[in-house]
Structure 1
Amino acid sequence: MFKQDLKDHSNRLLSWVGGGDCCNWTGVVCDNLTGHVRELHLGNDYSDEYLNYSLYQESSLGGKVTNTLPSMLVELHMSGCELNQIPVGVANMTRLKVVNLSSIGNLTAIVNLDLSANQIEGKMPNSLGNLCKLTVLDMSRNYFNGSVSEILGSLSRCSSGQMESPKLSTNDFSGPLSDQLGNLRHLRLLALSSNSVSGPIPMSLGNVSFLEEASISENHFSGTLPKTTGQLKMVTVAYVKSIAGRL
């Protein structure tokens, strides 16, 4: 059922047939004690064995995954897959610890991407900036890390970017906020609380005219809010307690 809507041009999943032990199928790893499927390795990392990119594409899995993933899954590797949607149920899998999202940039039609409240760790790929129709990105309550400016910079790459609500709270993002924040012209909600973001609040925050709420508490910001934020009549800013007296 999992593979029924996948495009498998090179028959990589030929072993996936009924009547046998699924633990012996290509890309499937089972728990030695319980026998449950715990890992799926379906990625197609580029290597020298491919003479050109067209051959690489032909060996990649594509299409979509419309059926839910195995409930005991711990690792999901689908790099290089030409998927047009995130597998159903991936955001609700509480046991999932490792997800390879390097092919996420192919989901160019996606509007709402919710990966919240899992145990996903690591960095998001720069190809996130290819999702020009994305309006809501919820990565909160995970273990994502890396530069917060790189994430926001990727989201602002599209000239027609529609991003309204980047929800990045309760992760391990770090570094300072950059003035690229001002390029998110449709921004309504900025949720960055409970990370390790540092440095001053950029002046460009006050130029985001649609901004209604900025949740930035429990970080390591310094200085005071820019005076330009006073122009944002509806903004409610949750700020760090250590400098609240200077606002």
Structure 2
Amino acid sequence: MNMNPTSKPLLLLGSLLLLAASTLPLQATTACVPREWDALLAFKRGITSDPLGLLTSWKEDDHDCCRWRGVTCSNLTGHVLRLHLNGGYDLDRFELVGLVGEISPQLLHLDHIEHLDLSINSLEGPSGQIPKFLGSMNSLRYLNLSSIPFTGTVPPQLGNLSNLRYLDLSDMEGGVHLTDISWLPRLGSLKFLNLTYIDLSAASDWPYVMNMIPSLRVLSLSFCRLQRANQSLTHFNLTKLEKLDLSMNYFDHPYASCWFWNLTILKFLDLSQNRLYDQLPIALGDMTSLRVLRISNNDLGSMAPNLLRNLCNLEVLDLDESLSGGNMTELFGSLPQCSSSKLSELKMSYNNINGSLPAGLFRQFPNLVTLDMSINLITGPLPVEIGMLDSLTYLNLRGNNLEGVITEEHFVSLKSLKYIDLSDNQLLKIVVDPGWLAPFTLEEARFASCQMGPRFPSLAPVVS
């Protein structure tokens, strides 16, 4: 067949358009899979109270459940992929505000669901237990049941969720315990695990079990009543772990005997309130990826010289109530000594630190947002260099023996300052011109026992 030369490009264009159309994702031919629509309505029938109106849009006369609040469907198949119905907190009454009722087993009909977030709700139901049937939702990659007041034990059936990447069972303050944790390594793809407030006191093998989940990046075991962290691991599989929170447990043994000091990729380490004691190990100085280090409310004694000087990525250092004393100049030498410091939060209160504040402290850490060195034995003047900390929001130096005169120069660039407490420094005198215009707007100021006056500009509500 002879073709007009001009028809060839048109034919080619038509072929390309057909090819493009064939590769476009098809929209769901049905608004919602009927079986899954039924399952969601069954879940709603199990809810006795909905103060936030999370399920207001879930109506029986609307068969497009993909448009309902908290529901996300596949554009290709119409199957429900995500159910996100987290509640909230009433900060005035210190209580949960969310759905009240139970989790319907009809959710098992959501065969393709990958994301289930029912956190911060009262969905414990009559049994009060975490439903075992959740372990049969095999497509789940994300499961968040945090802040639901369950009781009893965590069902080992959750170990069947082999696709799970994220598991949050934290803050179940109804009293949940976990004795046998041998099922956890079956979650071979798990990256995030938060068991905060789960009672793990009977799980003495917890480091060995966690070490069998090499995919872990975040591990939070705060308030878990763990008895010790000095187990001996011959081989470390947690080579991807970036965050480790072991705060508020009962270790009561030397820092150096802890098993995790070789995890040099860690970016976050919280060991607060664990009754750990003695010197921090030299290995801490090799954890150069650390951004957050919290070791408050332990018994460190003293800080080894130069221990932290190479931790140039450190953004938060919390040493509150951890030292038994020390000289300010020597401690300054132990802190990160980097050409470009990232430190934004430095907390060293209640440590019996003596000596004067070195001017270099503020030059070395120009990005400080929070500085708390309250309740120590610090003497001498407050260096005027503090006035250059233009990101400083919180300053607490109360309960020391500071002396000398503070003037406008100490505040010259503190444009971000919101809170200041210089109280209980009886030899400290604050003298600024009554007409001085501060570069900041304070929310709270405390100057009790300081010498002030004779007149002082109005900076904020002053609390004595």
The answer to whether structure 1 residue 245 and structure 2 residue 451 are counterparts is yes
The answer to whether structure 1 residue 192 and structure 2 residue 403 are counterparts is no
Aligned twin of 2:389: 208
Deviation track 1:75-122 (CA, whole Å, cap 9, x = no partner) reads 23259x6441499773342x3233433321111001111111223322
**Alpha carbons 2:362, 2:389 under 8 Å: kept:** yes
Q: Which runs of 5+ in 1 are unaligned?
A: 6-36, 43-59
The counterpart of 1:224, out of the listed 384, 401, 405, is 405
How far 1:178 moved relative to its partner? 0.8
Aligned twin of 1:177: 357
**1:1-247 superposed matches below 5 A:** 1=205, 2=207, 5=211, 40=230, 71-78=250-257, 82-84=262-264, 85=266, 90-93=271-274, 95-155=275-335, 157-183=337-363, 184-231=365-412, 232-235=414-417, 236-241=419-424, 242=426, 243=428, 244-246=450-452
Aligned twin of 2:156: none
Deviation track 1:28-59 (CA, whole Å, cap 9, x = no partner) reads xxxxxxxxx989598xxxxxxxxxxxxxxxxx
Deviation track 1:159-216 (CA, whole Å, cap 9, x = no partner) reads 1210001011111211111111222111111100001111110121111221122100
Q: Which has the bigger relative contact order, CA under 8 A and spacing at least 6?
A: 1
Pair 1:228–1:182, CA change in 2 (3 A): same
Report the AA paired with residue 118 of structure 1.
N
Aligned twin of 2:74: none
**Alpha carbons 2:268, 2:292 under 8 Å: kept:** no
* Whole-angstrom distance in 1 between the partners of 2:269 and 2:370: 26
Sequence identity, in percent?
Answer: 23
* Whole-angstrom distance in 1 between the partners of 2:268 and 2:367: 28
Deviation track 1:137-164 (CA, whole Å, cap 9, x = no partner) reads 1111223432223334444521121000
Q: How many residues align?
A: 198
TM-score normalised per structure 1: 0.65
Pair 1:222–1:90, CA change in 2 (3 A): same
Aligned twin of 1:21: none
RMSD: 3.5
3-state SS of paired residue (1:170): coil
Q: Which runs of 5+ in 2 are unaligned?
A: 1-204, 212-226, 429-449, 454-464
TM-score normalised per structure 2: 0.37
* Whole-angstrom distance in 2 between the partners of 1:162 and 1:171: 23
